[in-house]
Chain A
Amino acid sequence: MEYLAPEKTADAVKLLAKSKGSVHVLAGGSDLLVRMKGGYVEPDVIIDIKRIKTMQEIKKGATGFSIGAAVSCSKMGEHKALRKAWPGVVEAANLIGSDQIQGRCTIAGNLCNASPAADSVPALIAAKAVAVIKGPKGTRRVAVEDIATAPGKTCLKKGEVVEYIQLPKRAAKMADAYLRFTPRTEMDIAVVSAAVNLTLGPRGVITHARVALGAVAPTAVLVPEATKILKGGKLDDAKLEALAEICNAACRPIDDKRGTIQFRTHVAGVLAKRAARLAYTRAGGKL
């Protein structure tokens, strides 16, 4: 096996494009090294992107935040402005594994690992985040919900690497929230999860809403019908009940070691309601 640690994105792209065999990008490594240990992958080439300075940065610009692909989740947690603007995204990132894992793992890696249960992905989908991908043919921008195509599969092509994740600009009265269900308080994989991102107008009226669910389908899913239900008017019990129902209906889960179809479907609605309440109060709404 070859270990390569380029210092520029362009070099990473070149190496990815020309390397033969089983080629893997190493961001945080918290998924890749586990799969190597279990013998599920045997890379011929590993390209470590952590030495690429631009990929290690969180930048706040006119269009919002960009989070480099090699930024660890714990670094996101330490970034005050990011935390204030995107509390749901940051709390999702800070729920992945333990402090030890968060010291390594990245949201870009979480996204590209393409697990339906990835914690940060529903939050990023609700946030309308975009993955900025560099490849041999240049740059393309892909909505995060379109990255994973199936469990463990992404739309990334040979030679492509996510350079950073772009989060939209925030104004006042906007907030998001992410909640997941795990049997343990920590160190667990989401059995089901929900992210809600809300924008409020005057008098607490919801003007924009995005809801995403995790671990209830082959990939994390956006629930567009939830937007219709939440938009217009304040967050009240009727809206919450309708939200829960629509979320239940959006679930296409499986029975596995982590949970049952019945359980996931029911709890998806429960978490969506709770996340909506949390996002609403965070955005300044009164329940």
Chain B
Amino acid sequence: MGKDTQLTDRVFKSVGTRPMRPDGIDKVTGRARYGADHNMSGQLHGSILRSPHAHASIKSIDTSKAEKLKGVKAIVTAKDFKTKGITDPDLLDIIDNCMASKKAFYDGHAVAAVAAVDAKTAKAALKLIKVEYKILKHVTDVDEAVQPKAPLLNNKCFTKGVDPTPDKASNIAKRSEFGHGDVAEGFEAADVVIERTFKTGQSHQGYIEPHACVASVGPDGTGELWVCTQGHFVFRQQCAKILGLDEAKLKVTSSEIGGGFGGKTHLWVEPVALALSRKANRPVKLVMSREEVFRASGPTSATSIDIKMGVTKDGVITAAEAELRYTSGPYAGSWATLGAMTSFACYDLKNVKTVGLEVLVNRPKTTAYRAPSAPMAAFAVESMIDELADRIGMKAIDMRIQNAAKEGTRSSYGPVYGPIGIGPTLDAAKKHPHMSAPLGPNQGRGMACGFWFNFGGQSCTDLNIGSDGTATITVGTIDVGGARASLALVVAEELGIPYDQVKAVIADTTALGYNEMTDGSRGTFASSMSAIQSCRMAIADMRQRAATLWEIDVDEVVWENGHAYAGESGLNDSNSNHPPLSIADLAKSADKTGGPIAGHAQIVADGAGVSFATHICDIEVDPETGQTRVVRYTVIQDAGKAVHPTYVEGQFQGGAAQGIGWALNEEYIYGEDGRLQNAGFLDYRIPVCSDLPMIDTQILEIPNPNHPYGIRGVGETSIVPPLAAIGNAVSNATQVRMTHVPMSPPRILAAIHAEAASDD
């Protein structure tokens, strides 16, 4: 996709307006159908037996009694998942996670599943399955897991990324290193050097809709899967491979999705439902309980980060170094890699080095969570920046401005930046009234910056013009929070017709080519790019049709404002004998000019623009209890071009709220037995309405040169700064540096008391 030179001064008509979403009425009347809202004839109830142990060898599974129970139609265990011929290690991990083969790696790991006529029978059947375990020593803490004597999860895990490869197995699955310059030299040049260790708890995406699917596979290998997912094409591909089905014969339909945030990019129960269905030759509905969601679907990593930064007394950061240890559950991932890449991405550093270590632990498999791995790294880095600024007597915002990355800066992860928005968000923050508003007693203000890459990937769209001139845009990316509205706006813009004459539809896997998932903030970025190309193809076709109707050369037809004009200058050509033709006019005669009017595009939407944000927040701390209250919160972020500003604001606000929850209370709490103690909304404590203030937003528009409208992804960056912004605010309110997320009241109070004791 080439550059569009118009983009900076383009005047948009539809893009940038705030119409109502097309799927809205269904969602306010209860008509919208989510994962658990679909049923099929003859449907069975699926249920999963899960390990009660954090780490155990599975000696045997006896399903004979359960099989004899009346109403039980199928039981599957790992034996029903054939791994022969599968070489992709990630896919093998997915299969093992969906159904434990040799070992149960965490409390909640699936070991068997039942399909029965109803929930009651399924539940009774699970109780009749006898699993013999040999309990093994477990490790859930990231720092304990890297110790030489830690219980080993996988005796074939030899750290990747180290040369030569170690000959002794460990829980460190991968080491990845980034950076440039010479940090030792950099620290020499510094006037102040600070070293600290930060820890963050494991948080869950916390989508309100639990995973749910209905699977149906016939004896001929033809199947259907109805599922709440962020990527039904990816699910089709992976499920087909796992089950040994032909992709083309597996139709995957994405339901409305009740939140994902990365957690629904991954298979958890779907292959199990398909396997049960195939065995029973009946449709199977499988819905996770909330407890199962917490225990057995992927949370983010818990981390421990050693960081060292040096600064001159003039505020120049001379060197920065970090070792970041990220848990990835029982299987390798690339979470520490992403942490190592993103940690210092906001700054222009001459000497920087980051090392990420992927650590295996007896916790559920880590999945992506909104800008995965970036928030924890930002917590460490942005806390350090505040502390360094304080030490040299500089304002934290000024030190950030002075060191901010800009066009031409070599990023800490390697490449040199093009035009980027970190500087403008900082300038906007400095000018924002929030920065200078007075603070009350026991209140502190904090700020922090955040970075996320964003990406694009494969996209495929169809545009079809109806006989009345209205347009249907069919996309293969899931709409998680208003994308249909945004895509309809883009199509309306491109075709020059009103928004309400465009219908955006999410197709199932039989109707379009492959599409990547809605992740990496790519939904609107990539689908709009493909939609624009589909429109341009249809417009080219319509120009040709107008030329045919007018019996003139196509070069003499100009397309403007949704109309074909005869004559080179279009609108202004009053000499033309041909009155302009609207899309509706052209559609009316489509049967005489070549049949239905359509456009199609299949692209790799590369060139997503990186995205930066700066957040400001005020926190009040009760010094006697450590209780916190978020008093005020402001998000400033670059959107490239905000297609539907209301939903862009919504992304900013939602990301901030998730970050606030993570910063203050959310975490996985494990007992001595390695079992999760708080597998429910009550004790996991995501923020409720009365916990938050209004979240102010400021959208900056620094166009992405690689998108025809300048669009960047906006979904993820907003969760990156809150951990640090809140940490800095709490530290400013209490005069105690907070180093452990979540900053729950017991932790804050303990930190205040420890500081008071050290002062005595």
A and B touch in the complex (CB under 8 A): yes
The A-contacting residues of B in range 695-752, CB under 8 angstroms, are: 744-746, 749-750
Proximity bits, B683-697, A CB within 8 Å = 1, else 0:
101011011000000
Complex interface: stretch among A21-29, A205-213, A262-270: A262-270
In the bound complex, residues from chain B placing their C-beta under 8 Å from that of A191 are 745
CB of A184 within 8 A of CB of B750, answer no
Given contacts A38-B291, A257-B669, A270-B625, contact A185 B746 (CB under 8 A): no
CA distance A270 to B677 in the complex (A): 27
Chain B residue with Cβ nearest A187: B688
Chain A contact residues: over half helix, strand or loop, or mixed?
loop
CB of A181 within 8 A of CB of B745, answer yes
CB of B682 within 8 A of CB of A181, answer no
Q: Nearest Cβ distance between residue B748 and chain A, in whole angstroms?
A: 10
Chain A residue with Cβ nearest B678: A257
CB of B291 within 8 A of CB of A184, answer no
CB of B688 within 8 A of CB of A186, answer yes
Cross-chain pair count, CB within 8 angstroms: 53
CA distance A183 to B685 in the complex (A): 8
Q: Nearest Cβ distance between residue A272 and chain B, in whole angstroms?
A: 12
Candidates B624, B683, B687, B750; contact of A262 at CB < 8 Å? B750
CB of A267 within 8 A of CB of B291, answer no
A: contact size bracket = 20 to 34
Q: Nearest Cβ distance between residue B682 and chain A, in whole angstroms?
A: 7
In the bound complex, residues from chain B placing their C-beta under 8 Å from that of A233 are none
B111 in contact (CB, < 8 A): no
In the bound complex, residues from chain B placing their C-beta under 8 Å from that of A259 are 746
Listed residue (B626, B687, B746) with the most chain A CB atoms within 10 angstroms of its CB: B746
A260 in contact (CB, < 8 A): yes
The A-contacting residues of B in range 648-702, CB under 8 angstroms, are: 664-665, 669, 677-678, 681-683, 685, 687-688, 690-691
CB of A189 within 8 A of CB of B691, answer no
CA distance A127 to B683 in the complex (A): 29
Candidates A189, A260, A266; contact of B682 at CB < 8 Å? A189
CB of B624 within 8 A of CB of A270, answer yes
The B-contacting residues of A in range 251-281, CB under 8 angstroms, are: 256-260, 262-263, 266-267, 270
Chain B residue with Cβ nearest A259: B746
CB of A184 within 8 A of CB of B677, answer no
CA distance A183 to B683 in the complex (A): 10
CB of B677 within 8 A of CB of A256, answer yes
Candidates B624, B627, B677, B690; contact of A183 at CB < 8 Å? B627
A188 in contact (CB, < 8 A): yes
CB of B665 within 8 A of CB of A266, answer no
Proximity bits, B617-642, A CB within 8 Å = 1, else 0:
00000001111000000000000000
CB of A185 within 8 A of CB of B691, answer yes
CB of B750 within 8 A of CB of A263, answer yes
In the bound complex, residues from chain A placing their C-beta under 8 Å from that of B690 are 185-186
CA distance A38 to B292 in the complex (A): 11
CB of A183 within 8 A of CB of B688, answer no
CA distance A39 to B683 in the complex (A): 18
CA distance A181 to B669 in the complex (A): 19
CB of A184 within 8 A of CB of B683, answer no
CB of B745 within 8 A of CB of A183, answer yes
In the bound complex, residues from chain B placing their C-beta under 8 Å from that of A189 are 682-683
CB of A187 within 8 A of CB of B682, answer yes
CB of B685 within 8 A of CB of A188, answer yes
A185-B690, A186-B690 known, 6 other contacts, Cβ within 8 Å: A181-B625, A183-B685, A184-B687, A185-B688, A256-B677, A267-B749
Sorted from nearest, which 7 A-B pairs have the closest CB atoms? A263-B746, A257-B677, A185-B690, A257-B669, A270-B624, A183-B665, A257-B678
Binding site for B on A (CB under 8 A): 37-39, 181, 183-189, 191, 256-260, 262-263, 266-267, 270
